[in-house]
C-alpha cells in the first residue's frame, strides 16, 4: 500500500507579478518600491523608441509650430526647472522611500525591442503573469493585452482620468485652475489611451517648493502607495472592481510648449 499523494488541486497557484518598463530610473523606482511587499517574478525591458519618429508623429498630430514649442520647453525650460528643484527632488525621494538602485540579479530580466513585439508576447505567454505592472512603455496593442488570458494589466497614470489623460496631468490641472483634480490614477490598461477602469485615485498637493520637474515625482509616490497599500493585494486576490469616474469631460493632454508654460506661469503662477 502506497502513501496517499497530496492533492495538487488543493494547493493554490503562486501568484506571478511582472513589470513591463524601459531602462532608467522610473522603472527601477517602481520595482524597488513595490518589491518590498510584492516581489516581481520578472522585469521585461523594452528598448526606447526613436526620438525622430516620436517628433514626426507629433508634427502630424499637432503641427510643426506646436511641436517646436514642445521641443523648446524640453530643451530650454525644463532643464532649468530641474536644476532648481534638485534639493526638492532629493527630499521627495527620501521622504517617500523611492530608490533607483538596480534590480537585483536574482530577478529575471528580459529585453525586447517593443512591448508589442513577438519576443515580448512570447515572454508573457511563458511567464503567465496574474498581474502586469506597465510603467513608461509604448501603448500596448490588443495582441499584447490578450497574450495572457485573465491577466490584469495595470498602470499608474500621472493625472486624474478621464479629465486629464495623456501626460503631465498635475501640471495641466493646476494650469486649468482645477487643483481638486491634481492627482494620480491607478487603472486597468485597455486598448485606449488612459481609458481603462479606475482602480484607485488620489489627490496630490504641491507646495511652493514644487514645480513642473517635481509634479511627476509627487504623482509617482502617491500612485505607488495606492498600488502597494490598496490595489495590488486586491488584484492578486482576483478582485478587479473599479470605481466611478469623476464628473467632467474626457480630454487628452500633451506636453506644454515653452510659450504656453511661460504664459501660464506669468498669468497664474503655476510653476
Every domain of the chain and the residues it spans: 14-268
Residues with Cβ < 8 Å from 97, sequence gap 6 or more? 33
Q: How far apart are CA 48 and CA 52, in angstroms?
A: 12
Q: Grid coordinates in use for 269?
A: 503662477
pLDDT at residue number 2: 39
Q: Cα–Cα distances in Å, from 24 out to 31, 102, 116, 136, 163?
A: 11, 9, 19, 10, 28
> Please, are residues 215 and 168 in contact by the beta-carbon 8 Å criterion?
yes
How far is it between the farthest Cα atoms of the chain?
A: 86
Q: How far apart are CA 256 and CA 264, in angstroms?
A: 10
- Note the pTM of the prediction, 2 decimals: 0.90
pLDDT at residue number 13: 64
Q: How far apart are CA 248 and CA 132, in angstroms?
A: 29
Q: Where would I find the H helices in the chain?
A: 25-35, 51-62, 64-72, 78-84, 86-95, 118-127, 142-145, 169-175, 212-226, 232-236, 258-268
pLDDT at residue number 52: 82
pLDDT at residue number 115: 96
Strand 183-188, strand 165-166: pairing: unpaired
Q: Grid coordinates in use for 87?
A: 534639493
pLDDT tens track, the chain, 271 positions: 334 444 444 444 688 999 999 999 999 999 999 999 999 999 999 998 878 888 888 888 889 999 999 999 999 999 999 999 999 999 999 999 999 999 999 999 999 999 999 999 999 999 999 999 999 999 999 999 999 999 999 999 999 999 999 999 999 999 999 999 999 999 999 999 999 999 999 999 999 999 999 999 999 999 999 999 999 999 999 999 999 999 999 999 999 999 999 999 999 999 9
- Name which of 210, 196, 169, 193 is nearest 87 in CA terms: 210
pLDDT at residue number 51: 80
> Please, are residues 99 and 29 in contact by the beta-carbon 8 Å criterion?
yes
As to burial, measured by CB atoms within 10 angstroms (0-12 exposed, 13-18 middle, 19+ buried), residue 76 is exposed
> Was domain 14-268 assigned CATH 3.40.50.170?
yes
Amino acid at each position: 500500500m502506497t502513501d496517499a499523494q497530496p492533492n495538487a488541486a488543493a494547493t493554490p497557484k503562486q501568484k506571478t507579478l511582472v513589470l513591463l518598463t524601459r531602462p532608467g530610473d522610473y522603472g527601477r523606482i517602481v520595482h524597488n518600491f513595490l518589491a518590498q511587499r510584492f516581489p516581481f517574478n520578472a522585469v521585461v525591458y523594452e528598448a526606447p523608441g526613436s526620438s525622430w519618429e516620436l517628433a514626426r508623429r507629433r508634427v502630424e498630430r499637432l503641427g510643426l509650430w506646436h511641436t517646436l514649442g514642445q521641443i523648446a520647453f524640453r530643451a530650454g525650460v525644463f532643464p532649468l526647472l530641474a536644476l532648481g528643484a534638485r534639493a526638492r527632488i532629493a527630499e521627495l525621494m527620501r521622504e517617500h522611500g523611492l530608490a533607483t538602485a538596480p534590480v537585483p540579479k536574482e530577478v529575471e530580466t528580459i529585453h525586447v525591442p517593443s512591448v508589442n513585439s513577438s519576443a515580448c508576447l512570447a515572454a508573457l505567454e511563458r511567464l503567465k503573469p496574474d498581474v502586469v505592472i506597465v510603467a513608461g512603455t509604448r501603448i500596448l496593442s490588443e495582441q499584447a493585452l490578450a497574450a495572457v488570458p485573465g491577466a490584469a494589466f495595470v498602470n499608474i497614470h500621472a493625472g486624474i482620468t478621464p479629465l486629464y489623460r495623456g501626460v503631465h496631468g498635475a501640471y495641466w490641472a493646476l494650469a486649468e485652475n482645477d487643483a481638486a483634480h491634481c492627482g494620480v490614477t491607478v487603472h486597468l490598461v485597455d486598448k485606449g489611451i488612459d481609458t481603462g477602469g479606475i482602480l484607485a485615485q488620489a489627490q496630490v498637493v504641491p507646495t511652493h517648493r514644487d514645480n513642473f520637474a517635481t509634479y511627476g515625482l509627487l504623482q509617482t509616490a502617491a500612485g505607488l502607495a495606492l498600488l502597494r497599500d490598496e490595489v495590488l493585494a486586491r488584484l492578486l486576490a482576483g478582485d478587479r472592481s473599479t470605481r466611478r469616474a469623476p464628473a467632467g469631460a474626457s480630454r487628452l493632454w500633451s506636453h506644454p510648449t515653452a510659450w504656453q508654460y511661460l504664459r501660464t506661469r506669468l498669468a497664474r503662477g503655476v510653476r
